[in-house]
Amino acid sequence: GAVVSQHPSRVICKSGTSVKIECRSLDFQATTMFWYRQFPKQSLMLMATSNEGSKATYEQGVEKDKFLINHASLTLSTLTVTSAHPEDSSFYICSARDRGTVSYGYTFGSGTRLTVV
C-alpha cells in the first residue's frame, strides 16, 4: 500500500531557530499533501494544503510566513517552522493521497514531535 515517510520523528530546538520537516511519498506521486498540527489529546487541525509546483493554501489563522511550505516535487513536501517558540511545540503530521488509486482516504506520515525549548 501507499507509504508516507515523515522525517524527523522527533526534534528539539532552541527558541528562535528554524526547523524543517520532510514528508515523502515513497511509492506513489502526490500532487497534493496536507499538513496538520495536533496538540495532546486533541484532534488534527489542518494547517495548509501543499500543492506541487505552486503556492500552498493556508487555513485561516495559520501564519504563512512562520510555517513555510515547499512542494518542489511530486514526492516531497517540506514544512519549515521559522523562528520557533515554545508555543509552536506540537505534533505535526502530513498526509498524501495516491492519485493512482480510487480510494479517497489519505495516507498519513508517522508525525514529527517538535519541542521548542
Partner 1 sequence: GQQLNQSPQSMFIQEGEDVSMNCTSSSIFNTWLWYKQDPGEGPVLLIALYKAGELTSNGRLTAQFGITRKDSFLNISASIPSDVGIYFCAGQLTNAGKSTFGDGTTLTVKP
Report the interface residues with partner 1, using CB under 8 A: 4, 6, 32, 34, 41-46, 49, 60, 91, 93, 95, 97, 99, 103-111, 113
Least distance (Å) between residue 39 CB and partner 1: 12
Tell me the three state secondary structure of residue 88. helix
The CA distance from 51 to 48, in Å, is 10
Least distance (Å) between residue 83 CB and partner 1: 26
Q: Considering beta carbons, is residue 16 or 94 the nearer one to partner 1?
A: 94
Least distance (Å) between residue 62 CB and partner 1: 13
Q: Considering beta carbons, is residue 28 or 34 the nearer one to partner 1?
A: 34
Cell numbers standing for residue 64: 504563512
Q: Considering beta carbons, is residue 102 or 117 the nearer one to partner 1?
A: 102
Taking alpha carbons only, the member of 114, 117, 86 closest to residue 11 is: 114
Q: Which residues contact 29 (CB under 8 A, 6 or more apart)?
A: 74, 75, 98, 99, 100
